[in-house]
Each structure stands twice: as C-alpha cells, then as structure tokens.
Amino acid sequence: MSVEVPQMDELLRIVPTAAYGDDAPGPDRRGGALHLSAILPAVSNALGCPVPTAVHRDPAALQAALGLPDARSAIVVLVDGLGYWNLAMRLGHAPYLRSLMREGANQRPVSTCAPSTTVAAMGVFGTGSCPGLTGMAGYTQLDPASGRLVQLIQFKQVTPPAPAVPGLHGATARAQAARASKAAEPALDPRDLQREPTVFERLARQGMRVTASGLAKFRDSPLTQAALRGPDYIANVTPNDRVRAAADAARTPGLTYLYIRDIDKVGHASGWQSAPWVGAFERVDGQLALLRRLAPKGTLIVVTADHGMVTADPTQRVDIAADPTLTRGVAHVGGEPRALMLYAEEGEDPAAIASRWRERLGERALVRTKDQALADRLFGPVEARVAPMLGDVIVQAAGQVTLVDPRIQSDKATRLPAVHGSQTMLEMDVPCLIDVA
C-alpha cells in the first residue's frame, strides 16, 4: 500500500487550523487526537502510567486514536524538520522508513502546532499542551516586561545585526564579538516563561525511568529547560552513539527520548530538495534502522517531527523594511519569515494594520488580528499572562513566500533556501510512525 502525495500546489495551500483535544478528527477537522501534542500523553498510557494534560484529558483515547500498542518500554524519536510529505516524497532513499510507511496505521500524518516551528513545537510536544499555555509562540516574540523581542532558542534579546566593518580582525574583532554576546545575554528565565509541567517530569515523579539521549550542548540549554526538562540526560558526540545510548536505556522499562537534528539543519543551509538534504535523510534512516536493530525486543518505537519544510522562492521574498505600507504602525516584527507576529505601536489599531497587510499581500498570506487568531484557537487555549506576548496581527505566508525584515535579521536568515512556520500541509503535517522491536 503506497502513499498518494498531493500535487505541490495543494501542499502549499493554507489548511484549516488544527484543534486541540482528545477526539479523532473528522474529514473537515485537523488535529485533536492526531496532533503532536497528543504523542507523549498517548505513550504514557501505553506504558501504563497515563499523564493527562491541560488540553488532553484522556490519554487512553489518544493511545487508541494513534494506534499505539501497550509496552513496558518506549523510545520516542523526534526528527527535526522531517515533515510527513517531505518524507513521503523521498521514501526511495530510506529503506527503514519506507518499510514503516507500508503499514496503514502509519499512512496518516498528525498535525503540528501553529506556528509550525521548533520553539513552539518543542513546547507543545514536551508538555502535551499548546503555545497559548506554554508561552512559546514563535522564534521571536515580545517580552511584555521589557518591551523587547526575545529569541526563544537561546532566550536572548534580539538585537539588529551589527554592520560589517572592513578590515576588522584580531583583538578588535574579538572585542566586538564579546560586546555583541554580552548584549544578547539571556533575557528570560526559561522555567518562568514555560510553566506547564512536561510529560517527562510527571512520569519521573511517578517513579518511571525517563531518559533523553542527545548532544551535550542541549543537556541544559534554555530550550531544554523550558520544554523538555525532566529526563536523565545521556550525552554523546556521534549520532550512532546517541542511538546506542537510547537503545541501552530502553532495556529498563520506561520512556526514552531521542532527538535528531541534522535534517532541519541541512534543510536550512542547502534546501530540503538538495543533494545534501537527501544525504542527511539517508543517514537518519540508517540511524533509525540501527535503533530498531539494537532496541530490546518488545520496545515501542515512535518516530515523529516538529514541522515540515517549504522551499523558499527568492522571487517571492517580501522585504518588509522596504515597504512603508507594511511598516506603518508596527513597533516590532516577531516570529519568522513564514509566520510573523506584528506588534502595534501605541495607539495604532491592529485591524487597520491587518487591513493594510491584506491589501498589500493578497493571496500571498493569511492575515488575522490577534482577536481573530484567538477566536480561531490558533494557539489553543490562551492564558491571560501569555496573551500580551502574542502579536497584535498574525501573518502566515502561503505558497513559497517569505516575509523578511533585514532590520533585525541577518542577510543569511532572510535568504534561507528552505523554511517553515506557516499553516500549509507541507509544514503542518508530521509523521507519527509506529514500530515494535
């Protein structure tokens, strides 16, 4: 049984907003139990230690909807950037993943969150909740306390890229770099921003073994502290050693988490349709096959991702800073090139800003005011403390459009060959592939 891949123009259309909850979605509804936020609560039930969350009250219903078997030990693998349709279009390069995709239960994608980006998705995945509760709603967002934009990979304030100085080198260059680093010191406490308990924490508190296998630099990173805290962390340098550590941990009943980042990293650098991306994809498939061989018999293996990737079209790049219609009334541009959050200047009407952006962009983007986005439940239920962090206007790019702001982004960041963040099938649909060793 093969997977039928839609035409690219369909994959690049904006799809309905995915819902949060425990019900399996119908033909006109996305998300619910088939959502990235449902995976860890469902696995917790499969392990006999159900963890309900703020948006998923019935882990047993999630397990049934996702089709997970009961198990004593489980390994959940998150492959950064491996969207369901990116995977489906390159199955010829991945014998292990291709074998999984022959199974009917694995031939349906699940939805990631909006925005479809790592920061928001890791919060959703780790807590089993939504950006409206985690406070992690985009790559950059407003810190209401300081009135500054904060980047939520490293939880640092955003500063405009420093202009290049011809001939700068040696001690002078190092001094400038040190000043830039100091100006970008952590601006937020990750644990204070993201206050939802993680599924990992809650399982550990109930006495279950919970282990994460990854790079040493991610052990105590701000993003890990915010979204993935709780496991015992095993650090290794090489990908295969991280796989072996995950398989060894699974010999004791409990939950193991394995993060694989290369596909996203190579996709941003070279494009997801490039030869380097295919090479990275083949290597990741080999790592997953090795995990399957080494995992103890009976181990449940679940492979998922945080988002898919879209090839950016340079001819459809919109420079916000160069267009007075788009900058008028906007104090800050947060988010990322496929999913913007616009923060209005004091006294400006967000509806007027949204109207100008709709008129200028037309079908190139979906533009909503914050009130409209909240009514659509774009971020799930939203806490009162989180609402001021969200943009007054939310803009999601369609097709292969990117919306960039060179005032606060480096030139490289505005010209990435592959991007994500918006609400198209290609970005929103992620795999939830089930195997048992």
* Number of neighbouring beta carbons within 10 Å of residue 371: 12
Residue 139 · residue 153 · CB < 8 Å? yes
CA nearest to 12, candidates 365, 403, 404, 405: 365
SS3 432: strand
Q: What is the pTM of this model?
A: 0.94
Residue 31 zone, left/alpha/beta (φ > 0; ψ -120 to 50; rest): left
Tell which phi-psi region holds residue 92, choosing left (phi > 0), alpha (psi between -120 and 50) or beta.
alpha
Tokens of 91: 């199955």
109 cis-preceded (ω within 30 degrees of 0): no
Specify the DSSP class assigned to residue 58: -
Q: What is the greatest pairwise CA distance in the chain?
A: 63
CA torsion angle for 2, 265, 410, 177 (degrees, to 10)? 170
Q: Which of 174, 414, 153 is nearest to 306 (CA)?
A: 153
Q: How is the chain split into domains, by residue range?
A: 8-133+192-310+425-436, 314-418
- Topology of the domain comprising 314-418: Gyrase A; domain 2 (3.30.1360)
Measure the CA angle with vertex 58, ends 57 and 62; round to 5°.
Answer: 120
Phi/psi for 293 (5° steps) reads: -70, -35
Tokens of 167: 């001939």
Tell me the pLDDT of the chain (437 aa) as tens digits: 578 999 999 999 999 999 999 998 877 789 999 999 999 999 999 999 999 999 999 999 999 999 999 999 999 999 999 999 999 999 999 999 999 999 999 999 999 999 999 999 999 999 999 999 999 999 999 999 999 999 999 999 987 665 544 444 444 444 444 444 444 456 789 999 999 999 999 999 999 999 999 999 999 999 999 999 999 999 999 999 999 999 999 999 999 999 999 999 999 999 999 999 999 999 999 999 999 999 999 999 999 999 999 999 999 999 999 999 999 999 999 999 999 999 999 999 999 999 999 999 999 999 999 999 999 999 999 999 999 999 999 999 999 999 999 998 999 999 999 999 999 999 999 999 999 99
For every residue of 367-411, DSSP letters joined together read: EEEHHHHHHTTTTSS--TTTGGGS-SEEEEE-TT-EEE-TTTS-H
Q: Which of 203, 132, 66 is nearest to 389 (CA)?
A: 132
Rounded Cα gap, residues 64 and 62, in angstroms: 5
8-133+192-310+425-436 classified as CATH 3.40.640.10: no
